[in-house]
Amino acid sequence: MYIPDKDRYDGRMKYRRCGDSGILLPEVSLGLWHNFGDGASFQTCMDIVHTAFDRGITHFDLANNYGPAPGAAEEMFGRILKKSPMIRREEIMISSKAGHQMWLGPYGDGSSRKMLITSLDHSLQRMGVDYVDIFYSHRYDGITPIEETMQALVDIVKSGKALYVGLSKYPKDKADIAYDYLRSNGVRPLIYQGKYNLLNREPEEQGIISQAAENGAGFIAFSPLAQGLLTDRYIHGIPADSRIAKGEGFLKKEQLTDEMLKKIKALMSIASRRDQSLAEMALAWILKDHNVTSVIIGASSVDQLKSNLKAMDNTSFSNEEILTIDKSL
Q: What are 186-223's pLDDT values in tens digits?
A: 999 999 999 999 999 999 999 999 999 999 999 999 99
Query: Looking at the domain assignment, is residue 196 inside a domain?
Result: yes
235: pLDDT strictly greater than 90: no
Q: What is the pLDDT of residue 249?
A: 64
Q: What is the pLDDT of residue 35?
A: 93
Assess contact for 277 and 271: CB atoms under 8 A.
Answer: yes
Is 0.75 surpassed by the pTM of this model? yes
The end-to-end CA distance of the chain, in Å, is 48
- Tell me the C-alpha distance between 53 and 38, whole Å: 23
High-pLDDT (> 90) share of the chain, % = 91
Query: Looking at the domain assignment, is residue 286 inside a domain?
Result: yes
253: pLDDT strictly greater than 90: no
Query: Looking at the domain assignment, is residue 67 inside a domain?
Result: yes
Q: What are 82-117's pLDDT values in tens digits?
A: 999 999 999 999 999 999 999 999 999 999 999 999
CATH number at residue 96: 3.20.20.100
Query: Looking at the domain assignment, is residue 169 inside a domain?
Result: yes
For 105-167, give the secondary structure using H, E and C. Answer: CCCCCCCCHHHHHHHHHHHHHHHCCCCEEEEEECCCCCCCCHHHHHHHHHHHHHHCCEEEEEE
Largest CA distance in the chain: 54
Q: How many residues are given for the chain?
A: 329
Q: Other C-beta atoms within 10 Å of 8: how many?
A: 16
- Tell me the C-alpha distance between 286 and 234, whole Å: 21
- Tell me the C-alpha distance between 161 and 108, whole Å: 20
Q: What is the pLDDT of residue 133?
A: 98
SS3 221: strand
Chain Cα centroid distance, residue 156: 21
Angle at 33 between CA 29 and CA 37, to 5 degrees: 130
**Domain count for the chain:** 1
Q: What is the pLDDT of residue 255?
A: 76
Query: Looking at the domain assignment, is residue 1 inside a domain?
Result: no
Q: What are 23-39's pLDDT values in tens digits?
A: 999 999 999 998 999 99
Long-range Cβ contacts of 257-264 (<8 Å, 24+ apart): 260/229, 261/234, 261/235, 263/199, 263/328, 263/329, 264/229, 264/230, 264/234, 264/235
Q: What average pLDDT does this structure show over 262-290?
A: 97
Q: What is the mean pLDDT of the chain?
A: 95
Query: Looking at the domain assignment, is residue 161 inside a domain?
Result: yes
Q: In terms of Cα–Cα distance, which of 166, 127, 162, 163 is closest to 149? A: 166
Query: Looking at the domain assignment, is residue 3 inside a domain?
Result: no
Q: What is the pLDDT of residue 105?
A: 97
242: pLDDT strictly greater than 70: no
- Tell me the C-alpha distance between 284 and 273, whole Å: 14
- Residue 228: domain span: 15-328
Q: What is the pLDDT of residue 250?
A: 66
Assess contact for 249 and 243: CB atoms under 8 A.
Answer: yes
Query: Looking at the domain assignment, is residue 9 inside a domain?
Result: no
For 228-266, b/e burial (b = at least 16 CB within 10 A) is bbbbebbeeeeeeebbbeeeeeebeeeebeeeeeebbee
